[in-house]
Amino acid sequence: MSQFRFELEHVDSTTGARAGRWHTPHGVVETPAFMPVGTLGTVKGLLPEQLKRAGAQMLLANTYHLALRPGADVVEQLGGLHQFMNWEGPILTDSGGFQVFSLAKLSKLTDDHVTFRSHIDGSLLELSPEKAISIQEQLGADCIMCLDECPPHDVDKKRLHEAVLRTTAWAARCKEAQKREDQALFGIVQGGIETDLREESAAGLLPLEFPGYAIGGLSVGEDPADMYRTLEFTTPLLPQEKPRYLMGVGRPIDLIEGILRGIDLFDCVMPTRNGRNAMAFTSRGPLKLRNARHKRDPMPLDPDGTTEVGRTYSRGYLRHLFVAGEMLGPILLSWHNIEFYQNLVRNLREAILADNSAEFRADQLAQWGGEL
C-alpha cells in the first residue's frame, strides 16, 4: 500500500471540512473531489479529453456491469481499465454491492454470496466477496471496494442489523482475498440512519485497517436532513488520516453538506443523467431547457458561471438540440454539468484552505435561491 498516501492539508476550524491530497499509482487527487460515473467504462457521451478539460481527476466504473459485458477477462486482456478506457488518471470500481439494492428483484442474497439474474440475457452471475475482489483485480482500478449489502432505507432495524453483520463479515473475506498491492481496498460502513448500527459497523471495520473508508446506504430514499445527521455522527468514527468516500451522492447541496461534515470523495450519476434529460445546473439554480420560454433566448446557458459550455452556447440553441433529438444536446449539457460539479468542489476546497467553508455554503445557497 506504499503507492497510496493521504495528506490532510487543512481542516477548516469552523466546520471540520477537509482539504487533502490522495496519492495513487495514477496520480494525485486533490480532495474534496467528485468522481464522474462511467459505469460501463465510459462517462456517457463524453471523451476522456472532455472530462479532463472539465476538471475531472478520478472516474468510477462498476464491477457488476463490466463483469457482464464485456467481461473482466476481456478488460484484463485489453490492458486493464486505464488502457481500455484511455483514461490515464485514477479509477475507482464499485463492488456490485449497490446492485444488491438497485436490482433486488433480479438477485438472491445469502450470507455466502449474492446471485444475480442478468438484466441483459437472464444468465446467472454469482458474486461473493472473493469473486468481487477477483473481478476488480482483473479490471485493475486504483481503488476497489469491498462487497457490501446496501439495504433500502425503509426496512426495519433488525433487517438493517443483518446487513451490517453481513457487510462486516464480507469485508474480512475481501481483505483476505486481496492479492494485488497496487489497489487500495475500501471498507464500507452501513447501518441506515441508526446511530448505534453505524457505530457497530465502523467498529467492525476499523480493526481491518483499510487504506480508506466509505459510507454507504445513504441517498437511497431517506430525507436529506436524515442523511446529513447520519454523516455528522458517522464521519467522526473514521480515521482522520485516511480518505472518506460518500457513495452515490448527490445534488450540489449534498456535496457541500457532505464536505462540511468531513467527506473527501463523492460520485453520482446526477450531472450526466440530468444533462441527458435537458436539465442544467447553473450558478443561478437549475435550468430546464425544454421549457418553451427558452426557444428564442439568446442568453448563454450560464452567463455568471465558469464552464466552457455555459459561456459558449445559447439557451435557444441548446433547447433546439433537444427538441430536434440531436445527440449534441445531451453531450453538451453532460459536459457542462460535470464541469459545474468540478468547479463547485474545487472552489469549496479553496474556501476550506482559507477557513471560509461556512461562508461559501451561505453564498452558494443565496445564489441558487435555496437548495440545488
Same domain, yes or no, for 260 and 346?
A: no
- pLDDT of 192 reads 96
Q: Residue 148 phi/psi, 5° resolution?
A: -135, 175
Please give the mean pLDDT across all residues of the chain.
94
pLDDT at 75 exceeding the cut of 90: yes
pLDDT tens across 143-161, in order? 999 999 988 888 999 999 9
Same domain, yes or no, for 172 and 296?
A: no
- pLDDT of 115 reads 86
Secondary structure (3-state) at 48: helix
Alpha helices in the chain (DSSP H): 48-54, 63-68, 72-77, 80-85, 97-102, 129-139, 157-177, 195-205, 224-234, 252-259, 270-276, 308-312, 315-323, 328-353, 357-368
Which residue did the predictor score with more confidence, 86 or 124? Answer: 86
- pLDDT of 154 reads 87
Structural domain span for residue 306: 276-372
Secondary structure (3-state) at 214: strand
* The three grid cell numbers given for residue 129, joined into one nine-digit string: 466477496
Determine the longest span between alpha carbons in the chain, in angstroms.
Answer: 61
Q: Which amino acid is at 148?
A: D
Same domain, yes or no, for 228 and 309?
A: no
- pLDDT of 163 reads 95
Q: From CA 200, how far away is CA 217, in angstroms rounded?
A: 15
pLDDT at 85 exceeding the cut of 60: yes
Q: From CA 367, how far away is CA 372, in angstroms rounded?
A: 10
Q: From CA 206, how far away is CA 265, in angstroms rounded?
A: 19
Q: Which amino acid is at 363?
A: D
Q: Which residues pair with 10 in a beta bridge?
A: 19
Last residue of a domain, one of 268, 296, 316: 268
Same domain, yes or no, for 11 and 63?
A: yes
Last residue of a domain, one of 268, 298, 321: 268
Residue range 175-194: mean pLDDT, rounded: 97
Angle at Cα 335 formed by Cα 250 and Cα 351, nearest 5°? 55
Catalytic position from the list 12, 94, 148, 254: 94
Same domain, yes or no, for 179 and 292?
A: no
Residue range 247-263: mean pLDDT, rounded: 97
* CATH classification at residue 193: 3.20.20.105
Same domain, yes or no, for 264 and 280?
A: no
Same domain, yes or no, for 74 and 175?
A: yes
Cα–Cα distances in Å, from 309 out to 281, 300, 301? 12, 9, 7
Number of structural domains (the chain) is: 2
CA nearest to 243, candidates 25, 57, 18, 34: 18
Same domain, yes or no, for 213 and 131?
A: yes
Neighbours of 295 (CB within 10 A): 11
Known active-site residue 223: no
Q: From CA 216, how far away is CA 239, in angstroms rounded?
A: 16
- pLDDT of 371 reads 60
pLDDT at 106 exceeding the cut of 90: no
- pLDDT of 320 reads 98
Same domain, yes or no, for 264 and 281?
A: no
Same domain, yes or no, for 125 and 82?
A: yes
pLDDT tens across 217-230, in order? 999 999 999 999 99
Last residue of a domain, one of 237, 268, 299: 268
Provide the residue count of the chain: 372
Catalytic position from the list 148, 254, 264, 267: 267
Same domain, yes or no, for 370 and 257?
A: no
Same domain, yes or no, for 352 and 243?
A: no
Question: What is the pTM (predicted TM-score) of this model?
Answer: 0.96
Known active-site residue 226: no
